[in-house]
């Protein structure tokens, strides 16, 4: 059953200095989905995410079809005919954006950083003075508790570990009341434990709060593990959009090219597969890497030679 659309990207192209880095990308996300965006370095993941978040204007006209691309969020235009729409700010207020790093203002306390999620909903003068109400601070503390960083509230943003900073960024999105979180490689700089922690939180927000999540991931094993659906980009084109469980090694190899060895090394690494095997045993299908939705864990199925 298809839920109401949160993202509708239609024939989105983007050209930088004459080089087309997104080619007529179409993508639809329904409310409550958690979708991984994968692809090799340079395939266009960040450009697509920034376009969806209204941070990068897309091309005015799509070359191939002559049709202009457009991006709608919550069924309202974020970008049309190469222009960020007038209603973009209202749509951004409903969208939490998380990057790989530099998510926090380093010198401000974590509490203030999280409170900044409220800026869009505050009177201009109070917002510009950074005066947050007691109610806002309480709400920020609740958000920090939810992501497990309440005890760090009074530290400066720059004094948190990478994983804690990402959790603070998620808390800020919660403070913002985001209905949609778009995250560009939020775990790329983190150790496996912190990475799992951040993905667990995103997954929890998706399942318990119904927040729609689009997350780009360089490490495919996390896509398999956490996201029922994966969209794969190759050289700016969507080459796969479907169940993560149907992704095969051969197909991933064709997407990642020379990066394939790194990818498979990651998939084969003990920490992830050990957890997956212990928590989500599923029947074997030779050569496929599948996702067991009942456990939200992928299990890599191998030939008996590897078993
Ligand atoms: N502001 C820019 N100006 C010029 N070229 C750009 C700009 N941003 C991205 N590109 C180019 O667009 C292409 C896609 O870049 P993008 O950052 O979207 O890829 P990516 O899939 O996110 O890669 P990575 O996995 O390395 O983050 C690359 O060739 C990149 O060099
Ligand atoms: Mg990127």
Q: Could you tell me the pLDDT band of residue 255, with boundaries at 50, 70 and 90?
A: confident
pLDDT, average across residues 7-13: 95
pLDDT, average across residues 2-8: 90
Q: How far is the CA of 56 from the centre of ligand 1 (A)?
A: 12
Whether 18 is in the pocket of ligand 1, judged by its Cβ within 6 Å, is no
pLDDT at 285 over 70: no
The more confident residue out of 255 and 270 is 255
Whether 229 is in the pocket of ligand 1, judged by its Cβ within 6 Å, is no
Q: Could you tell me the pLDDT band of residue 76, with boundaries at 50, 70 and 90?
A: very high
pLDDT at 254 over 90: no
pLDDT of the residue at 273: 35
Question: For every residue of the chain, which 3-state class applies, written as one string?
Answer: CCCCEEEEEEEEEEEECCEEEEEEEEEEEECCCEEEEECCCCCCHHHHHHHHCCCCCCCCCCCCCCCCCEEEECCEEEEECCEECCCHHHHHHCEEEECCCCCCCCCCEHHHHHHHHHHHHCCHHHHHHCCCCHHHHHHHHHHHHHCCCHHHCCCEHHHCCHHHHHHHHHHHHHHHCCCEEEEECCCCCCCHHHHHHHHHHHHHHHHHHCCEEEEECCCHHHHHHHCCEEEEEECCEEEEEEEHHHCEHHHHHHHHHHHHHHHHHHHHCHHHHHHHHHHCCCCCCCCEEEEECCCCEEEECCCCCCC
pLDDT of the residue at 82: 83
pLDDT at 111 over 90: yes
CA-nearest residue for atom 28, ligand 1, is 42
Q: Could you tell me the pLDDT band of residue 77, with boundaries at 50, 70 and 90?
A: very high
- For a pocket test of ligand 1, which of 13, 22, 23, 47 has the largest count of ligand atoms closer than 8 A to its C-beta? 47
Q: How far is the CA of 44 from the centre of ligand 1 (A)?
A: 6
The more confident residue out of 74 and 68 is 74
> Quick one: which ligand is closest to 99's CA?
2
pLDDT at 257 over 90: no
Whether 290 is in the pocket of ligand 1, judged by its Cβ within 6 Å, is no
pLDDT of the residue at 130: 65
- For a pocket test of ligand 1, which of 14, 21, 40, 188 has the largest count of ligand atoms closer than 8 A to its C-beta? 21
> Quick one: which ligand is closest to 38's CA?
1
Whether 296 is in the pocket of ligand 1, judged by its Cβ within 6 Å, is no
pLDDT at 64 over 80: no
CA-nearest residue for atom 5, ligand 1, is 16
Phi and psi, residue 13, nearest 5°: -120, 150
Q: Could you tell me the pLDDT band of residue 300, with boundaries at 50, 70 and 90?
A: very low
Weakest-pLDDT range from 63-67, 108-112, 132-136, 164-168: 63-67
Q: Could you tell me the pLDDT band of residue 246, with boundaries at 50, 70 and 90?
A: confident
Whether 236 is in the pocket of ligand 1, judged by its Cβ within 6 Å, is no
CA-nearest residue for atom 26, ligand 1, is 41
pLDDT at 32 over 80: yes
Weakest-pLDDT range from 35-39, 192-196, 217-221, 255-259: 255-259
Place of tokens 């993905």: 199
- For a pocket test of ligand 1, which of 12, 16, 99, 219 has the largest count of ligand atoms closer than 8 A to its C-beta? 16
Q: How far is the CA of 28 from the centre of ligand 1 (A)?
A: 22
Q: How far is the CA of 45 from the centre of ligand 2 (A)?
A: 5
């Amino acid at each position: 059953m298809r839920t109401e659309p949160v993202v509708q990207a239609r024939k989105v192209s983007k050209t930088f200095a004459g080089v087309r880095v997104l080619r007529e990308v179409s993508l639809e996300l329904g409310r409550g989905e958690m979708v991984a965006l994968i692809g090799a370095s340079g395939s266009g993941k960040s450009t697509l995410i920034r376009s969806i978040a209204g941070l990068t204007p897309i091309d005015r006209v799509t070359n191939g079809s002559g049709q202009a691309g457009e991006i709608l969020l919550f069924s309202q235009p974020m970008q049309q005919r190469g222009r960020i729409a007038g209603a973009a700010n209202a749509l951004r207020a409903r969208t939490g954006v998380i990057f790989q790093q530099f998510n926090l203002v380093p010198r401000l306390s974590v509490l203030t950083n999280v409170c900044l999620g409220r800026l869009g909903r505050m009177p201009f003068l109070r917002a510009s003075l950074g005066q947050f109400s007691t109610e806002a601070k309480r709400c920020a503390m609740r958000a920090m508790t939810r992501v497990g960083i309440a005890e760090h509230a009074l530290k400066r943003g720059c004094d948190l570990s990478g994983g804690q900073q990402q959790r603070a960024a998620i808390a800020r999105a919660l403070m913002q009341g985001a209905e949609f979180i778009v995250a560009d490689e939020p775990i790329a700089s983190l150790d496996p434990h912190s990475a799992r922690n951040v993905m667990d939180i995103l997954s929890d927000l998706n399942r318990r709060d119904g927040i729609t999540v689009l997350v780009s991931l360089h490490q495919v094993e996390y896509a398999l593990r956490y996201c029922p659906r994966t969209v794969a980009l190759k050289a700016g084109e969507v080459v796969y959009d479907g169940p993560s469980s149907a992704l095969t090694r051969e197909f991933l190899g064709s997407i990642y090219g020379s990066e394939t060895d790194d990818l498979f090394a990651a998939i084969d690494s003990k920490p992830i597969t050990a957890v997956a095997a212990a928590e989500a045993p599923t029947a074997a299908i030779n050569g496929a890497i599948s996702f067991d939705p009942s456990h939200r864990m992928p299990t890599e199925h191998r030939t008996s030679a590897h078993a």
